[in-house]
Structure 1
């Protein structure tokens, strides 16, 4: 069974944690959800971001999400892929040295990585986007460019793949985001 490491944290976007986690477990992956300074059984608070015609997204309280693995127990070599949720969590998760080292390991080992929305802030902080084409929530686009990446301005329900990196602007892209991640993980789904 393939194992996926899933980085998330307090005030992550609700859908961007709940939905990919459930979808990846549904297809049979062992998914370890982790957050720095938290252990298995601890909860994180999520936030629901919606697009309601304002100049930016709105934010509402989400659910409590129970982590199923302890951050301090992560051994990066045990994992076949990495998923990074968006929301507000990445703005502080990227300050954690071990988070940065984890992300760098996946890129150095050329393992599949999927990041959505503001999750790309962790990639830019880890200095792994130079020369890569990727997307993110539009407000993160300048960070991608400053980090040497080539920002792709695509619709919120779009996905962009560059080698083993899958990125999307926001949760409306979940069907294509997860489908493309499954492809680079080597999954085949027959219907």
Structure 2
């Protein structure tokens, strides 16, 4: 999906980095160039877009790129709507038909997935992931490394802590602490998250 956005923006995509796939294999008709070792060798010749869905893994690759001095690309799908006053950090990806409204702030490495809505004055923490059709009312705070599931909703003015998972279809009606899993309507804590 990230490669598709880059191509839709008229960018040249050389290929993918993947430490689990064999060099030379193809994805989306583009080659696997190698893993992190390839990036260390070719770092001055490329920019990187983060195409990793898992928050902690995306954070690790972001930090590797930062350490190597690799430029991280922020990608916005041509069908997404991003207000002029919204602020997007490095390495953010905004998917098709997502909406980011005025004065929203999206920190480094976050994903705003297809059809997600980030209303005015929201703050999305670094490496958070809003799944397709997730919806945030105005002035919502989402912590770093937090994942909102498919079609999850957070009511205006509420806060979701760091490294929390909000289940698919859940409706957050009150503040949610860090490092928990919540689900349901209204969202209730199901369990604590294990430390990484």
Q: State the structure with more CA Rg.
A: 2
TM-score, normalised to structure 1, is 0.34
TM-score, normalised to structure 2, is 0.33
